[in-house]
Structure 1
Amino acid sequence: MSTPTQSKPAAAGEDNFSLKAILPPLMAIIVGMIMVILDSTVVNNAIPKLVTYFDTDLKTIQWTVTGYTLALSAVIPLAGWMTDKFGSKPIFMTTIALFTLGSILCGIAQTPEQLIIYRIIQGLGGGMVGPIGMAMVFKLAPPERRGSIMGVLGIPLLLAPAFGPVLSGWLVDSVSWHWIFFINLPIGIIAFILGYKYLPKSDRHAAPHLDIMGMCLAPIAFSMLAYGVSEGGTSWSSASTITGLTVGGLALILFIFVELRQKQPLLELKVFKSSDFTRSIILTWVVQLALFGAMLIVPLYLQGVMHYSALEAGLILMPYALCAALGMPISGRLFDKIGARPLAFGGLTVVSVALYMLSGISVDTPLRVIILCLCMMGLGMGFSMMPLNTHVLNAAPRRLVSRVTPLTTAAQQVVVSFAVAGLTGYLTSQIALHAASAGADANPLSAVVAGYGDTFFLSACLVTAAVALTLLLRKPKQQEEESTAGGNNPDPAIMGH
């Protein structure tokens, strides 16, 4: 698949290239991507408030996160096809507009069901912003200057997750929860105006065949599996759990069968024939499952058990993101020298120790211990995730590498949805189990704290398993380049077909 050819303000290889010349279109992309990244972090910290406001339970409200991430995963693989068909600039602006519209609808939602539906609309818009934005950044400068451009882009994208929970807490405490969504309106308008005015036009290309069957089966499979996992928190033998897992499992089997027979599949599953790739991505999924689920549980504990405000919880969470941002560039430099295995082993060991410490949490646990654990988790994540993600790309066969990014990015969102659904369901069931075994005279808070401890322990066990899996990592075999190498290779940032 060919990628859109960008025109001015910069063209790869121009002698008169300057960062100043591409700053306006770069700002349009940065503002749009920051809006989506912020939204992915502000909602987690607002979940306790949403549960109270809508008078519902955690199992229901977690679908505001699960539905959103599943919607992201559904559209990410379509980015390449859409940009070929319509051009990168109009699609980027359309997705910004759709995301902003979804944000407004979320802010006026009257029921949890409405909020979940509107979050799905947000996800359908937000899923393409990242891959298309990164592809346009890649096109704005010649190869020898792309490092500096990515550095400019990376700073705000690293800081956004740190300030998202703080912004969310301030809005929830000082204004209202509605404004965690309404705040996207001015940001979206700015991104849209900047994009309309400064983003270079792109050529359209003949779009390849669209995998309709895969596009329909994937959301059914992953959403039903997530539903079954969520319901399993109440009872693994209930009709809803069995139905969700059965329908999702059958749809997943059919999806795999269809994708393996397609000449231009939605997701390139043939890459799993590489044992190096398979080991690497399974390890990455296990880590993501534990970390993303745990980081949803922490603000619930801070607000629900320790009675911190949403703003205070956001400030407490900030060291996690800052330590992760600190570790990522260091691990990037070390990766080139020592490879992924020692970095992943060391980083994940630190994460597992932190989660084991949190599993022993009690009502008397000092805040400084929780902050220490968050710092350890952030630093460990920063040192392990970038090397693991890079190792996954390196482990893919060279002829399929341009198809790997949509697969790994979409799969990450699916894993996040499973983590949220699974760990919140497990938390609910463990709290109920401890409450039932303690008796009527016991302190109900003890059962709640014990449930959180069990959930952190489960996350710790998952990361410990990941630590063991790092020992199986090895330097990927050098794959033979395709005979067509040297031409205009598809852009891995948006390749979907």
Structure 2
Amino acid sequence: MQYRSKVACIFLLGFFLDCINIFMSAIAFPAMSTLFKLNRVEVAWIANIYILGLTLIIPLSSWLANILNVRRALLYSVGLFTLATFMVGFADSFSSLLFWRFIQGLSGGLLIPIGQALTFNLYQGGDRIKISTVIMMVALIAPALSPMLGGWIVDLSSWRWIFYSHIPFAALLFILVYYWLKPEYLTQQQRPDYLGMLFIALALVALLMSLTLMGELSHPYLLILFVLLTALFGAGYIYYARHRIDPVIQLSLLKNTKLQLSILVYLAVPGVFTGVNLLAIFFLQDVLQFSAAETGSFMLLYALMALSAMLLAKKYYLKWGAKKLFYLGVVIHSLGIYLLARLETGNSISSVAMAYLCTGFGGGLAANTAQATALLDFTKEQMAQASVIWNINRQVSFSLGAAFFLMLFNLFQHFSDLDLLGNYQLSFICAAVLGCMPLLFLHRLKEQSHVIKC
């Protein structure tokens, strides 16, 4: 096997672990909520605290890889991740669960940016589009299959075994890193931007706290404080980054139109769907009375359509160009969410299935096109920094999607005169509208020079 294929396998397995940690655990949220007596907003922190850990460590990834070398950094990362995964399954309180989920995120956060930077440096030109398709197969199929498997685990045993089941994959990854990866370095060693990372961490924590408090509606003055802190830390980082030569996030790279629009599409499609899917898990089990396994099985339909869409994107990316694929994917994805909003008690399985088929096809098409397009223009020297931006966006998209739509649902529960079913439907309608947001900006994407004219 070629060395670049070995690197790609390591990255894809790490990416797979990241995906199932986010999506397989979600199917168990109703069971966790009952055990620890949590409301919907508190449940969001089980996902958010993991993603927060991932997001905080990503900017340090290049520095750690160059201090320790790539292989050693990933070995430490996978080892700690395995321990944290076991402890999450062993948690006997909500606080210990959150603590070990955070450690899980911190330890696993090196796998994605380091692996992606190494892989994309080895796959250039047309090969990068091909490897991007494989990446998106993992990104969409792993989250699609894992809820169904997680549902079976919850129905047959306990939610704790969802996390115990990850440990063999982590052990395999440790072995592959040890035997396959060279002790190489990504870039020239630099002193990490501690102040920049502090700004980013504080802004993200303040934003998540704002969404949490907005959903609970119990501390209005504290909510105002965290909203102001979000704006303050965000503006502080922008000012700081413009006056520093090597900030942790190179804002100048965001001037690239392909990266900008790919980020927006990722927020509006995988990000929105993360929140929608989390709501749908409660909706299908609590309102439509599906079992955990049945609820998870709908994501299998999502996976099948996502795979079809990714193969379509791979075949027609050069012929049609990113813009047409973006338009098609965004519209079909929002249509699927709208179909969820039309569901009522007594609906047949086919009605639910149609909604997941549409979201799967549209989501696969849009997300795969975004993955292939986002880093297309960057050189090898820029790739590590661009990969940091892209992966922070990917993690933040998931976190914001979950927090925002749980917050929105709680607001409807407080202020709306609708019943439980009506509030779920209204939340899904809002999600369908927000999912169309990229349509307002896609005209800025220039037709790519490599597009084959018909």
TM-score of the alignment, normalized to the shorter chain, above 0.5: yes
Question: How far apart are the structure 1 equivalents of 2:135 and 2:377?
Answer: 26
Mapped contact 1:274–1:397 kept (Cα < 8 A) = no
**Shift in Å at residue 142 of structure 1?**
10
Mapped contact 2:121–2:383 kept (Cα < 8 A) = no
Instruction: Determine which of 443, 447, 451 is the counterpart of 1:475.
Output: 447
Aligned residue pairs total: 450
Matched, 1:432 2:414: yes
Deviations 1:27-59 (A, max 9, x none): 555544432322121111111111011111111
Could you say which residue in structure 1 is the equivalent of 2:159? 177
Could you say which residue in structure 2 is the equivalent of 1:374? 356
- Letter paired with 1:132: I
Question: How far apart are the structure 1 equivalents of 2:113 and 2:66?
Answer: 14
Change (3 A) 1:159 1:382: closer
- Letter paired with 1:403: Q
Could you say which residue in structure 2 is the equivalent of 1:85? 67
Mapped contact 1:28–1:194 kept (Cα < 8 A) = yes
Could you say which residue in structure 2 is the equivalent of 1:287? 269
Mapped contact 1:103–1:118 kept (Cα < 8 A) = yes
Matched, 1:365 2:337: no
Change (3 A) 1:195 1:366: same
User: Where does 1:229-378 land on structure 2 (aligned, <5 Å)?
Assistant: 229-235=211-217, 238-274=220-256, 277-378=259-360
**Shift in Å at residue 78 of structure 1?**
2.0
**Shift in Å at residue 343 of structure 1?**
1.2
Matched, 1:72 2:61: no
Matched, 1:460 2:432: yes
Question: How far apart are the structure 1 equivalents of 2:317 and 2:68?
Answer: 38
- Letter paired with 2:421: V
Change (3 A) 1:392 1:256: same
- Letter paired with 2:252: K
**Shift in Å at residue 320 of structure 1?**
0.8
Question: How far apart are the structure 2 equivalents of 1:238 and 1:133?
Answer: 42
Mapped contact 2:207–2:230 kept (Cα < 8 A) = yes
Deviations 1:8-40 (A, max 9, x none): xxxxxxxxxx45x88777655554443232212
Change (3 A) 1:180 1:84: same
In structure 2, the gaps of 5 or more residues are none
Mapped contact 1:62–1:424 kept (Cα < 8 A) = yes
In structure 1, the gaps of 5 or more residues are 1-17, 439-446, 479-497
Mapped contact 2:268–2:436 kept (Cα < 8 A) = no
Deviations 1:261-284 (A, max 9, x none): 221111111233456654553344
- Letter paired with 1:264: D
Mapped contact 2:275–2:405 kept (Cα < 8 A) = yes
- Considering only CA atoms, is the larger Rg found in Structure 1 or Structure 2? 1
**Shift in Å at residue 85 of structure 1?**
1.5
Change (3 A) 1:167 1:214: same
**Shift in Å at residue 153 of structure 1?**
7.2
Select between 348-357 and 399-408 the one with higher mean Cα deviation.
399-408
Deviations 1:406-432 (A, max 9, x none): 112102212221211110011122133
Percent identity, please.
Answer: 24
Question: How far apart are the structure 2 equivalents of 1:337 and 1:116?
Answer: 47
User: Secondary structure of 2:441's partner?
Assistant: helix
Question: How far apart are the structure 1 equivalents of 2:125 and 2:199?
Answer: 38
Mapped contact 1:233–1:429 kept (Cα < 8 A) = yes
Instruction: Determine which of 89, 100, 120 is the counterpart of 2:82.
Output: 100
Could you say which residue in structure 2 is the equivalent of 1:210? 192
User: Secondary structure of 2:24's partner?
Assistant: helix
**Which protein has the bigger helix share?**
2
Question: How far apart are the structure 2 equivalents of 1:57 and 1:381?
Answer: 29
**Shift in Å at residue 79 of structure 1?**
1.7
**Shift in Å at residue 145 of structure 1?**
8.1
- Letter paired with 1:74: L
- Letter paired with 2:434: L
Question: How far apart are the structure 2 equivalents of 1:396 and 1:146?
Answer: 12
User: Where does 1:150-161 land on structure 2 (aligned, <5 Å)?
Assistant: 159-161=141-143
Question: How far apart are the structure 2 equivalents of 1:409 and 1:331?
Answer: 21
**Shift in Å at residue 95 of structure 1?**
1.1
**Shift in Å at residue 321 of structure 1?**
2.1
Question: What is the TM-score of this pair, normalised by structure 1?
Answer: 0.82
Deviations 1:50-102 (A, max 9, x none): 10111111111210111111221111222222111211101111111121121
Mapped contact 1:98–1:125 kept (Cα < 8 A) = yes
- Letter paired with 2:20: L
Deviations 1:212-254 (A, max 9, x none): 1011111110111111022212339812321221112211111
